[in-house]
Chain A
Amino acid sequence: MAIVTYRDALNQALREEMQRDPDVFLMGEEVGVYQGAYKVSRGLLEEFGPMRVVDTPITELGFAGVGVGAAMVGLRPVVEFMTWNFALLAIDQLVNSAAKIRYMSGGQVGVPAVFRGPGGAALQLGAQHSQAFESYYAHIPGLKVVMPATPADAKGLLKSAIRDDDPVVFIEGEMLYNLKGDVPDGDHVIPLGVADVKRPGRDVTIVCHSKTVSVALKAAEQLAEEEVDAEVLDLRTIRPMDTQAVLSAVGRTHRCVVAEEGWPFAGVGAQVVDVIQREVFDELDAPVLRVTGADVPMPYNKHLEKAAKVDPARVVAAVHAVLYRD
Chain B
Amino acid sequence: MAGTAAPRARTRRSGLDPARADEYRGWLRQMVLIRRFEEKAGEAYSLGKIGGFCHLYIGQEAVAVGSLAVLRSDDYITCSYREHGHALARGIPARAVMAELFGKAPGCSGGKGGSMHLIDASLGFLGGHGIVGAHIPLTTGMAFAAKYRNTDQVAVCYFGEAAVNNGAFHEALNMAALWKLPAIYICENNRYGMGTALERASAIYDISERACSYDMANEVVDGQDVLVMHAAMERAVERARKQKHPTLLEVRTYRFMGHSMSDPIHGHYRTREEVEDQRKRDPIAVWSQRLIEDGLTDQPAVKALDKEIVEEVEDAYRFAEEAPDPEPGELYTHVYANP
Contact = CB atoms under 8 A, between A and B. Distances in A.
A144 B337 CA distance: 11
Interface string B11-49: 000000000000000000000000000000000000000
A125 interface: no
A191 to B, nearest CB: 10
B260 interface: no
Contact of A97 (B129, B167, B335): B129
Chain B: interface residue count, which band?
35 or more
Nearest to B100: A106
B252 to A, nearest CB: 27
A66 B144 contact: yes
Contacts of B138: 65-66, 68-69, 72, 97
A102 B335 contact: yes
A108 B119 contact: yes
B190 interface: no
Interface stretch (A53-61, A182-190, A211-219): A53-61
B168 A62 contact: yes
Given A106-B110, A107-B333, A164-B338, A69 B137 contact: yes
B145 A74 contact: yes
B141 A72 contact: yes
Contacts of A56: 175
A93 B139 CA distance: 13
A142 B335 contact: yes
B153 to A, nearest CB: 9
B283 interface: no
Interface in B135-155: 135-142, 144-145, 147-149, 155
Interface string A128-151: 000000000000011010000000
Interface in A40-94: 51-52, 56-57, 59, 61-75, 77, 92-93
Nearest to B120: A108
Interface in B115-168: 117, 119-122, 126-131, 134-142, 144-145, 147-149, 155, 167-168
Contacts of A66: 137-138, 140-141, 144, 172, 175
Contacts of B175: 56-57, 59, 62-63, 66
A102 B136 CA distance: 18
A75 B172 contact: no
Interface residues of A, number: 44
Contact of A103 (B76, B120, B145, B335): B335
Interface in A8-26: 25
Contacts of A62: 137, 140, 167-168, 170-172, 174-175
Contacts of B109: 104-106, 108
A102 B339 CA distance: 12
Interface of A: 25, 51-52, 56-57, 59, 61-75, 77, 92-93, 96-97, 101-110, 112, 141-142, 144, 164-166, 240
